[in-house]
Amino acid sequence: MNLPFWVRRAHKWIGLVIGVQALLWMLSGLYMTAISIDVIHGDHLAHVADAPLDGGSERLDVEQLARIRPGFESLKLKKFLGQEVYELRAGGKTSLVDARTGALLSPLPREQIVARAKDIYQGEAEIREVTWITQAPQEVGKRPVPMWAVRFDDSANSTLYFSPDTGDLLARRHELWRWFDFLWMLHIMDYDARSDVNNTLLRVASGVGVLFALSGAWLVFYSFRRRAQA
C-alpha cells in the first residue's frame, strides 16, 4: 500500500472540501477582532442612564399604590421622560403607572416612544420611520413582541427597539452589527437561528479541518524524513 500517495490524495480532497469554510472562518474572525465589540453593541448609538429621583416629590406609597393597583408582585420607582413612574410586575407582565396618581401609562403610545428615542439617541440624524412590530425580525432574536422600532436616517441605518410596556431599550441595531451577525452565522455555521455554536455541521467541519491539518503535518514530516534518507 502506497500510504504517502493516499494521504496526499486525501489531503487534497479534504482541502477542497474545507478550504472555503476555512477562508470564511478567517475572514469572519478578522472582522470580529478588527471592530470593537462596544461598537458592535451600538453603545455609541444610544446612552441609557437612570435619571436621579426627586427627593421631595409627592408620590404614592406602597400601600396606597396597592389599593389602586392590587396584585403586583414587585415594583421599581424610576423616571421616564422626566416623570416619576412605578414599574409594576404582575403575572409575568410589566407595566408603568404614574407615581403620583397610579394611572396606567402602558402600553406607551407612539409619541412617547419617539420622545424616548430622541432623548437617548447620540447621533444628529432625524427619525425616518416608527414601526409597531408584532413579529420579531431576525436581528432582535427572541426578544418579546410587540415592540416599537425607531429607525434613524443616518448612514448606518440605525434602529432602536423599545418595549411598549416599560419604554426600555431592547436592542440597538446598525449596519456594522448586521454585518457582524451575518459573519457570525458563517463563522458558527448556524444558518437558521445564528446562535447554536454546538451544531452538527460545525462539529463535522471542525473535525474535517483537524484531519486536513493532521494529514498536512504527516506529509511534511514524511517529506523531511525522506530527504534525510536520500
The reported pLDDT for the residue numbered 28 is 95
Class of residue 203 by CB neighbours under 10 A (exposed 0-12, middle 13-18, buried 19+): exposed
Sheet with strand 93-98: strands edge to edge:
74-80, 83-90, 93-98
The reported pLDDT for the residue numbered 5 is 62
DSSP letter for each residue of 80-108: ETTEEEEEEEETTEEEEEETTT--B-PSP
Q: What are phi and psi of 105, to 5 degrees?
A: -105, -20
The reported pLDDT for the residue numbered 224 is 65
152 CB-side CA count, 13 A: 23
The reported pLDDT for the residue numbered 215 is 77
Torsion region of 49: left, alpha or beta (phi above 0 gives left; psi -120 to 50 gives alpha):
beta
Q: What are phi and psi of 53, to 5 degrees?
A: -80, 155
Widest Cα–Cα separation across the chain:
95
Nearest to 120 by CA among 77, 170, 157, 193: 170
Q: Can you tell me which residue has the cell 411598549?
A: 164
Torsion region of 79: left, alpha or beta (phi above 0 gives left; psi -120 to 50 gives alpha):
beta
DSSP letter for each residue of 36-97: -HHHHHTTTTB---PPPPPTT-----HHHHHHHSTT-SEEEEEEETTEEEEEEEETTEEEEE
The reported pLDDT for the residue numbered 193 is 86
Residues 6+ apart with CB under 8 A from 125: 152, 153, 154, 158
Going residue by residue through the chain, which has 230 residues, state the pLDDT in tens, using 9 for 90 and above. Answer: 567 666 677 767 777 778 889 899 999 999 999 999 999 999 999 988 888 887 777 899 999 999 999 999 999 999 999 999 999 999 889 999 999 999 999 999 999 999 999 999 999 999 999 999 999 999 998 898 999 999 999 999 999 999 999 999 999 999 999 999 999 999 999 998 888 889 999 998 888 888 878 877 777 776 766 665 65
The reported pLDDT for the residue numbered 77 is 94
Query: What predicted TM-score, i.e. pTM, was given to this entire model?
Result: 0.85
